[in-house]
Structures are given as structure tokens and as C-alpha cells.
Amino acid sequence: MRVLGIDPGLTRCGVGVVDGEIGRPLTMVDVGVIRTSAHLHVAERLVTVEKGIDAWIDEYRPDAVAVERIFARSDSSTIMGTAQASGIALVAAARRGLPVALHTPSEVKAAVSGSGRADKAQVTAMVMRILRLESPPKPADAADALALAITHIWRGGAADRLQAAAEAQRPSASPTTRATHLVTTSRIPRSRP
């Protein structure tokens, strides 16, 4: 399985590609950061992030994309840019029909280091160890992207297999019935005036 991990950000968007499967050594394929200038308009910066992610997907052809799930921070301007970059990553993957998984920072820390409270240095050290790297990926956004890919291979792959097994146990339903079920279960209730 090949996974593109994306640590979304408007100034620095970490990207990392990892090959592997559960129970086997993982291999880093490539890692980097898509950068944008704070002097550009937000729309131009988002186009740069989109083009960068598109290029990574086109070049490495991942089987899945793992994106960091956004969580609340004290700096709302950081959240907004991160959320916008995250949306771009989700759209780029969905446009190609790639499965997308969202992993929280604590899930990634726990998967890679064994502790959901690990700091960046501990996560980077474990990424180096897991991928047998001689030097740490820099900046931290790059190491975080690799950690996301590792997490998805170790946890996401297992979750996908469990979901497939559960679906195989369900009585078969027509495509129309399944589509109706999806629409009714994903409907958002409206507030009344």
C-alpha cells in the first residue's frame, strides 16, 4: 500500500509518501513541503497548495491519502489557513477517487510513538526509526506528513479491512437502497424558524 500523508498548512504543507503494509518494514518514498508566501493573497496561496498536492498525487500515485484532522488551537488565523489547506487536500484526493482518511494529532502520536502526548521531537525520532532514516525530515511538517502516512498504513488499513468484512456480512441491497440509506443517514436536520 502506498499512502500520501498530508500535514495541511497554508504557509508550509507537509507531504510524505510511504510504502508498506502491516507486519512489514515501511519505506519512505519521498518527503517535502509545499510552501506559499504570506505576501500573496489567500486564494493564490490555496492554488499553489492545490497544484503542489496534485503534482504529488500525479507523480507518486498513492493508494490512499491521510490528512491531519483539524483541531482547535488558540490562534484562529492559523486554524483558518490550516482548514483551508485541509479542504484543498481532501478535494484533490476525492477528485481522483482516492480513499481519504482523517487522523487526529493524538492518534498519529499514539500510533507512531505509543503515546498520544508525545512531542514533535519524539514523533520525529520514531519516524526516523520506523523508516530507517539517517537524518530527520525537516521541517517538522515533513516529519508529521510521514507520521500520518505511517499511521494510516498501520491503523487505516486495519479499519478498512474491518469495514469491508462488516459490509460483506450484511445482506445484499440494491444500489438504489444503499444510495437512499446514505442520503437519509447523512441528512443534516434543519433548524425551524
Instruction: Extract the C-alpha cell encoding 193.
Output: 424558524
pLDDT tens for each residue of 46-74: 999 999 999 999 999 999 999 999 876 65
Alpha carbons 166 and 169: distance in angstroms, whole number: 5
Checking DSSP bridges between strand 27-35 and strand 64-68, what pairing results, if any? unpaired
Q: Which domains does the chain have, with CATH numbers?
A: 2-185 (3.30.420.10)
pLDDT computed for residue 163 by the predictor? 59
**Cell 488565523, located at residue:** 77
Catalytic position from the list 21, 59, 63, 68: 68
Catalytic position from the list 50, 54, 107, 141: 141
pLDDT tens for each residue of 70-129: 876 656 667 888 999 999 999 999 999 999 999 999 999 999 999 999 999 999 999 999
Distance of CA 181 to the CA centre of its chain: 27
Is 68 annotated as a binding-site member?
A: yes
Residue 68 annotated as catalytic: yes
pLDDT computed for residue 71 by the predictor? 76
Please, what is the average pLDDT of the chain? 86
Is 21 annotated as a binding-site member?
A: no
Q: Is the pLDDT of residue 173 over 90?
A: no
Q: What is the mean pLDDT of residues 13-31?
A: 96
Q: Residue 12: how many CB atoms within 10 A of its CB?
A: 17
pLDDT computed for residue 181 by the predictor? 38
Residue 75 annotated as catalytic: no
Is 141 annotated as a binding-site member?
A: yes
Q: Is the pLDDT of residue 145 over 60?
A: yes
Q: Is the pLDDT of residue 178 over 50?
A: no
